[in-house]
Structure 1
Amino acid sequence: MKNYILKTVAPIFLLFTSLLSGCAFEDNLHNEITLDSGKAGAPIKKDSDLYQTLQKTTVQETAQQAEEPPCVEFIYPLNLRLYDANLNTIGIKSINSDAQFSTVLENLSGDQSLSISYPITTTLADNTKYAVNNNAELNIALKNCTREDIIQYCNDIVVPPTENPTKFFWRVKYAETNDNTYFSGKFSINPGSSLVFYYNNKEYNGSWFFLFVDDKLHLNIKLEGDSQIAKYWSFDQEIEMEGTNILIKTLPKNINLEIMLTPQKVYNIGDFGPSKGIVFYDKGEYSFGWRYIEVAAKDLKDSEWGCSNSSIIAARNTELGSGYYNTAQIVNYHDNLINYYLNPSVCNSINNGTVLAKEATKYTQNYYNDWFLPSVDELELIYKNLYLKNLGELTDFNYWTSTETDQNSVRTINFKTGEKTTTSKVPEKNTIKARAIRYF
């Protein structure tokens, strides 16, 4: 299969709206790709970058005699799954040549899409192999010729260009199927593979680099020191690169890192933030990976704070910058109970299984999904900087914080009076409100 040597560089911020794309190289080299049995990958839409690249790489040789030799060759046969506009399967085609593959790509209508089964294995131009697990990694294989090229590509993705007016972070993304031990933390990757991990208002220095082990792409992370955090984040693990995520394959659960982009513009109190929330705090400079805090545009749905008669001592922080950490401790505590959300009696018979911190973690506004409950000091700033100025459509109710008082109660603030109060984790229904916040 012939492949045009593409000479395009995609800005990093386009990761939010497209598959990974990047530099190709002018080596006159060939890769081979074999198809193993596996599950169908995500549908590849006709207007996507990957679809267009596949079209160029499957054009018959006679049509591109003036082109440079390809980086990639498919080994046939392989199967393609075809979908209609509603992503219903409409057929599976067995493909035996570039010509057949090219014909399928050309004849697919604009509202249809296709997928390829993964994993597949690529034989790179340097006679080494590369395991491909998804569309994003296929895109990498199609556009890069050697292991060194792929490693350089990955490095370019995780390290922001110095001239770009945007801060780049890789946050530990929460999901019920993930290892969420440090999901309120985030990495800042610097040129030269050095890094800083921000967690609980502390900074941890270390290193980060990509390598191949047993034909699979790995990520090596090493934090300095002998703390529990340093031990956790010092490993060499296989990864999958997919869109704006890096999946680190650890047992028993994987760790998911997601890119976060923070525009470097000046915000004032009362301005709309990146998520269309309202900015209520500016500490004047960036530290620990953030400068501003914004509050969501609407209240969270009514929920209990969590399991009554249970202590979450790690969620008793009050200061600015501790709300995300508190929230993570609350969610992890309840996630680690056996089936609490469907059977809250495993903790306390008076609970109904709702957890406010969980609702905040699942909240999304303007595509941003890194929300959490404010600490008591953060909530006080919402009261002073927004409520008292009639901003944010806040009401004169009590509002929850993420700051636990003791095993049965939580810090709240009465927005009618400004008084700091203590409220039962299981109050009367619809008596306490909550707003999620986020750092940026």
Structure 2
Amino acid sequence: MKTNITLLISVLMILLSCSTDLDDNLNLKPNINTVDVIRSDSDLFDNLLEITNNEDRPDKSIACIDFIYPLTIFIFDNNDEYVSTNLVNSDTEFSNLLNNLDLEYSVSISFPITSNLSSGETFIINTKEELKIAIDNCLEEELILECTGVIQNCVLKVGYSYNYDNTYLGGIFEESNGITTLLIDDNSHNGSWSVFYIENELHINISLNDGNSEVTEFFNYDWKVEFLDENSLLLTNDERELVLNQRCDDDFTDCGNFIFEECETEIDSGISEFILDDYSTCIFETLELDDEFQIFYFETEEDATNLENPITSNEPFNNTENEQTIYVKIIDADNDMEYNILITLSSISC
């Protein structure tokens, strides 16, 4: 009985001690000169947001570090005067605190803090400099793994660029056993690509083995990589731009480029009948847009700009010249967004 009472007293002392420590932290009123302050306009502040949010985009979240809660967070105003001490118990609470912080305010974490790496390793961070180093190290590894996963898990289809040439729209990259294959119009181009991280930027180096062909001249570059979302990559090199969309569905080859072909109505006439609505599904799919958005087709850029004289898209339309350019406008009224693209109507012999 005496042993049980001793154990009970010991447990109560531990609980009271923990409670006292937390209360003591909440009563602290630190001086700006004695703590490591993290400004709200700093990269480290953005990193903290990325650790605590649940974004799907790999470049907007950091999953390789998890904080072990609770954490004590100090807030300072734009004059570096102490405002409050806050105890956060989860990523959600921490994220809410950071997101609701005044843009000119700063935060400070009560160090040391304990964190877990994605490997399961637990380590202690004593300063904001150590925190920044830990985040940078794991972020580099995480982005490379995420990007490699996007490349290797399914095919990548060349998407539509609103800012650059779409000659290879619908081309398909596939990775298998270290060999990269690009399929364009039933022609295969083999090579490789590598993902690396340099000077805080994610890169993909594409190398296709086709000598000095037009294809290699377009693709063979060191491309800077940005995630458009969790399944899409934007590659840029100077003025060049390449959009790659991950496709894991079985019908990823159904829609290719934006050249739509129909048989001639008369031999060698160069004229066909086109039902433009038949192409809407492929357009929405290629652009990865909601097919409930409004879509309009126009013969001239001026009509498209002014939203005048749209082509009746559910009735036969006869092209006036072969390889005729049609101007397409898609409207997302809820978000006040417009998307403008070009398609080509091609009349072929059948």
TM-score (normalizing by structure 2): 0.43
The structure with the greater share of residues assigned to helix is 2
The structure with the greater share of residues assigned to strand is 2
Based on CA coordinates, which of the two structures has the bigger radius of gyration?
2
TM-score (normalizing by structure 1): 0.36
